[in-house]
Structure 1
């Protein structure tokens, strides 16, 4: 097995110079975030590693190769032919998670009763992996279907590390070769996905109109520049304008034609082709009934939603758990839907996807759910307990699981899934957050972006693309890894 080269060994002066250049490049090129309690003119450099982190080339390529299959799986799950299957699972789950999953389901059922007028869906996805250190196999942590983040800053941190390498900030000329430092083109690829949505909207709805994309954002969004890079690319490369609104601003600043259901952005009176959610993935985004009503109202407009309510619901942890059964997984891969599956390791799409899975168990009263409870009693340190939530800071780890479960009613267990922990390699990289340098061992998480446009009525997948990647790292002593939540940092890959 090939081993990576060591991290650069720098003197104090060299490291100071590196940090100086890192700060200037970050501020000059938009590798920035807003700090807590920010003013609009006060961004700071995003937390990043000083050096790119090693990742095996074969494992990296495996993650890229499997992404179109995951795009296909979740496009098919979100199509109307599988609506009954999905809603049966979500309905049961909503009994345990009434305040969020249940309300998303209510929004969908209400929208369906009003009439959903747009059959096209747009998915901007991200599949997250850790490397299993014993065999260098990628293992999926989760699949994200709503508000996938850091497609903008991922490109920037790759450019940063390449720049530092080129100016010899790593101690010697070209410490890394150009091939060893791939730069994710996720800014352009994800904006291409938004442009695909705009293209198909115009093709089928309004061929002659100048349409725009609407970003739905959170109040006081600290990660605004990650999103802005997509907007700038969309305008530069496709001449498509975009605008940003919070959900509570929608009633005052948009209007929907009651007959055609086309929606317009009032300040410019432009027709909206795509509604792109960078909010709405957590209960905190719904402060009152107003936001929930807006989510329903937008769902019945003619604009293409990214994601639709069905697509957002398909990304819940319970779906990830049931997909670990090959017989279930095979239903959503068109090339494999008529095959019978067992545990044979055949080289087909179902097995290629299954290789990325670890064991995931329900926590309900089923036989597998009872097995999960016994596993927790025996050795909770092998597992993480996950609710149906996104955004970081929600999971329960290892020895904390039994105590947490003791605070729940037995009927609430079913809203969680139990996932086998992955054991990734650790590296002695350094993390810089503002002006503080932290020297601790880190672990990394690879996210691969994908885009897809599909027709939920005809099941036709119109586009299916890999759209770059993201590497995030965190201290090996930290369980959570959210960058915006303060747990991790943005990294880039050194391929070996």
Structure 2
């Protein structure tokens, strides 16, 4: 920028917040002073007060330019950007101009703009032209912490009077990227509209910044619908006089009780919600999809002792420091390799609904996770409640398959089996799963439900208590763990999560012996430390999170984080100052579990004024919208305005590789909105379950509350030349919209050998069973419903999502496109397929899982249409089997064999003087009849022999057709064809 001109102008750099002058080389806001500076804006006192202030040296006006600069040692001023472009998103400070520059550098993008909207802030990017949107989205994957949450294509930029992009009006763009109401307006009229905007509409651009896009609108509508349903449910429950008693009876019957006194004390009910609380289905399914990612994250952190030490060593908490020291003794140099040890995590990730209608993560619980048993039982009670109160809602359902205790038991059983596979019971002991608790545990019955599920799986269990005799079967590392003389294969820790559980040195010694042993700990000491508040604060930063997760998964996790700070660090001084000024917006967390430990309000400010801050994490408070709820405490039902904390259960078992990773349902802890804490054991909250509410404008369905699938199988069907390949490539490139890994397979049945088909089937099977979210696109003509039914059955068997996409194009268009391909399909083959193509019928099971796309659109337009009509929540919905059985696999295999024969016959038709196209319809009819006959005789003793006999019959008839179709029979040619047919028959056998 240069230097100021003589004495006419004074320039200096100041801190935008404190207005204090910044030293050389430090960036800040450029201020202009001198007698030539104006006194303010005409008739705009608020803006004048913000931009102008007295020059501290001359008392003449000084002007804040909004430019971010720094003053170099030689007196030159260097321009760095705009002050308003430096924002904090996902806990990281970024420069919006850096985002814009990165997007503008993408090939095809002519201009870009970035803004921050919403609370908590979301980074939105706008690019032009529309055709470059896909390229920008692909490039955003590698932009790390600069990656926008949403990229929107723009056809027409809103401009200021000086021709710059008007960022305050970007929210006025409609879904097509065109300014709303711009059609037919002249430039002069537009300028007049902007000039008189305040007087005419009494609105301003910045005043509408919360309504930024359809996603945000839908989130707010979803919250409003949940509040409406909650109010209706509470009103209906209040009209049902016998409901509180019925709920109590059902709760006692299912074992949903606690013991507030030592046995033989009287069992009591914990605080419960009388009716389930509404949760938006799309938000719930999004969090359930995140659960395996967070499980993998915690597992990888628990295997990195060096990183954990770096993260936790500065924490001035004696108890936590001693735990870390124990971990270093066991897993440090010369000790056990954490990655080589079998390890099981039974976790719960807790979320609160934010002010923007989206859930934000509160914490991850890795030790002594409670309420899995009670949640499963309360789900059954709430189903009874809804029926009793006649709460039949058209667009809301209780969460299906909400069985966290059963899922936890399955994970514990898998860990026990892994132990038995490795070590067996050759030492004379019978290994068991140990529930290690403290005496007179308030939640003992919650744990008993998991024990019962384990017994149903034939896995032996026993309970041991804090202070039990713990020994190793031998003195070396990795010995057999004996607790009160019983060998423990798995130790499920329900204690040792706070200093009070280590009152004596004996507890420390016992915990170390457990860690040294070969028993599988739930969690291991490293898994416990990986759930510490300081670790979660560190992982809220992109540079740390991306160390353990790929960019796609890290971006998904960042989307649910709020700002967290280490208040002892100088870099957090601004956050600490803000928290002292407005403590109601913050939460101060110590390194403790169990609830009731956090500081709020005046207590938070008092702690922040202390000296020992490294033991705390300062977290932005999540302000949740309240909803009516009916809570049952001590037999009395009370209606309150409440907020609910959503918990997602998950399990993760791994050794050198991932063995098991599951999502085990969800719970709510509902509390009065006036309460800061939400812990049930601490007496603040009540146990609750989700009432899943279908998305606003969505189709809904009887299964909207089910846990989403991790895998989705998509069949892309259509005639040759309909554009299937281009669509698959475009959808794979747009996979970030679903945050999924896309694998695309082109199926070919032209080869007489089954090798290629079997290879693809094996590959698809491997992908469907591998960990992680994925969509598998299968691209083939698939004009036969039997072929499609085979893959539908695969999806049903694998319990994944399933969709069929049909690109329907005019025959002439397919023929024209096909002629341009390097290896064109014969025209008569395409005509034949068009004649026999079995399109799905409306109202059928197949029709419900099918979607028609316009093959005359571009691939990009087809993808946009697909994503518009099939949102992520619907995309990942698990497929349910039809009421009637799908065609058998035998019929599918036979159909493929017959197709091979037809394919060979059509190839023969290309030989001179053979007119096979006239026989295509005859063969198709004959083939369909044989498949139907095979299906009808499927109960025969030897279906394989039956199928081979039918195929041989079809083969001989086709050979005869080839001979008869020859215009001038040639012995040599007939013999050649017959030799080819015999080879075909041999391959089929």
> TM-score, normalised on structure 2?
0.45
How much has 1:256 moved relative to structure 2? 2.6
How much has 1:207 moved relative to structure 2? 7.4
Find the counterpart in structure 1 of residue 677 from structure 2. Answer: 480
What pairs up with 1:436-451 in 2 under 5 angstroms? 436-451=636-651
What pairs up with 1:103-142 in 2 under 5 angstroms? 103-112=322-331, 115-116=335-336, 119-134=341-356, 136-142=357-363
What pairs up with 1:373-412 in 2 under 5 angstroms? 373-406=576-609, 408=610, 410=611, 412=612
Q: Distance in 2 between matches of 1:181 and 1:310?
A: 33
Q: Distance in 1 between matches of 2:500 and 2:647?
A: 25
Find the counterpart in structure 2 of residue 87 from structure 1. Answer: 309
Q: What are the ranges of 5 or more consecutive residues in structure 1 without an aligned counterpart?
A: 337-347
Superposed CA deviations along residues 396-436 of structure 1, whole A, max 9, x for unmatched, are: 01333112333x3x2x1011111111121211111111223
Is this contact kept in 2: 1:127–1:142, CA < 8 A? yes
Q: Secondary structure at the match of 1:105?
A: helix
Find the counterpart in structure 1 of residue 874 from structure 2. Answer: none
What pairs up with 1:179-258 in 2 under 5 angstroms? 179-182=397-400, 184-206=402-424, 210-236=430-456, 238-251=457-470, 256-258=473-475
How much has 1:115 moved relative to structure 2? 4.3
Find the counterpart in structure 1 of residue 850 from structure 2. Answer: none
- The question of 1:39 aligning with 2:259 is answered no
Q: For residues 355 and 479 of structure 1, do their structure 2 counterparts lie closer, same or farther at Cα, with a shift above 3 Å needed?
A: same
How much has 1:173 moved relative to structure 2? 6.2
Find the counterpart in structure 2 of residue 343 from structure 1. Answer: none
- The question of 1:26 aligning with 2:245 is answered no
Q: Distance in 1 between matches of 2:394 and 2:602?
A: 41
- The question of 1:467 aligning with 2:699 is answered no
Q: Distance in 1 between matches of 2:439 and 2:284?
A: 35
Q: Distance in 2 between matches of 1:13 and 1:463?
A: 46
How much has 1:180 moved relative to structure 2? 4.2
Q: Secondary structure at the match of 1:440?
A: strand
How much has 1:41 moved relative to structure 2? 4.8
Is this contact kept in 2: 1:110–1:296, CA < 8 A? no
How much has 1:182 moved relative to structure 2? 3.2
Is this contact kept in 2: 1:107–1:292, CA < 8 A? no
Find the counterpart in structure 2 of residue 264 from structure 1. Answer: 482
Query: Structure 2 residue aligned with 1:7, among 222, 229, 233?
Result: 233
Q: Distance in 1 between matches of 2:407 and 2:646?
A: 17
Q: Distance in 2 between matches of 1:14 and 1:467?
A: 32
Q: Distance in 2 between matches of 1:183 and 1:424?
A: 27
How much has 1:13 moved relative to structure 2? 7.1
Find the counterpart in structure 2 of residue 341 from structure 1. Answer: none
Q: Distance in 2 between matches of 1:43 and 1:182?
A: 29
Runs of 4+ residues deviating >6 angstroms: none
Q: Distance in 2 between matches of 1:454 and 1:309?
A: 15
Find the counterpart in structure 1 of residue 505 from structure 2. Answer: 289
Superposed CA deviations along residues 152-185 of structure 1, whole A, max 9, x for unmatched, are: 101111111101222xx21x36357784443511
How many residues are paired up?
461
Q: Distance in 1 between matches of 2:661 and 2:567?
A: 34
Find the counterpart in structure 2 of residue 352 from structure 1. Answer: 556
- The question of 1:309 aligning with 2:506 is answered no
Q: Secondary structure at the match of 2:597?
A: coil
Q: For residues 20 and 265 of structure 1, do their structure 2 counterparts lie closer, same or farther at Cα, with a shift above 3 Å needed?
A: same
How much has 1:12 moved relative to structure 2? 6.5
Is this contact kept in 1: 2:585–2:620, CA < 8 A? yes
Q: Distance in 2 between matches of 1:29 and 1:448?
A: 22
Q: Distance in 1 between matches of 2:243 and 2:253?
A: 15
Superposed CA deviations along residues 104-128 of structure 1, whole A, max 9, x for unmatched, are: 1122233347944871111111110
Q: Distance in 2 between matches of 1:494 and 1:212?
A: 37
Find the counterpart in structure 1 of residue 293 from structure 2. Answer: 69
Is this contact kept in 1: 2:472–2:479, CA < 8 A? no
Q: Distance in 2 between matches of 1:327 and 1:178?
A: 40
Q: Distance in 1 between matches of 2:522 and 2:539?
A: 22
How much has 1:10 moved relative to structure 2? 4.5
Is this contact kept in 1: 2:234–2:629, CA < 8 A? no
Q: Secondary structure at the match of 2:307?
A: helix
How much has 1:451 moved relative to structure 2? 0.9
Q: What are the ranges of 5 or more consecutive residues in structure 2 without an aligned counterpart?
A: 1-220, 694-989
Q: Distance in 2 between matches of 1:353 and 1:415?
A: 25
Q: Distance in 1 between matches of 2:634 and 2:472?
A: 42
Q: Secondary structure at the match of 1:110?
A: helix
After superposition, the CA RMSD in angstroms is: 2.1
Q: Secondary structure at the match of 2:288?
A: helix
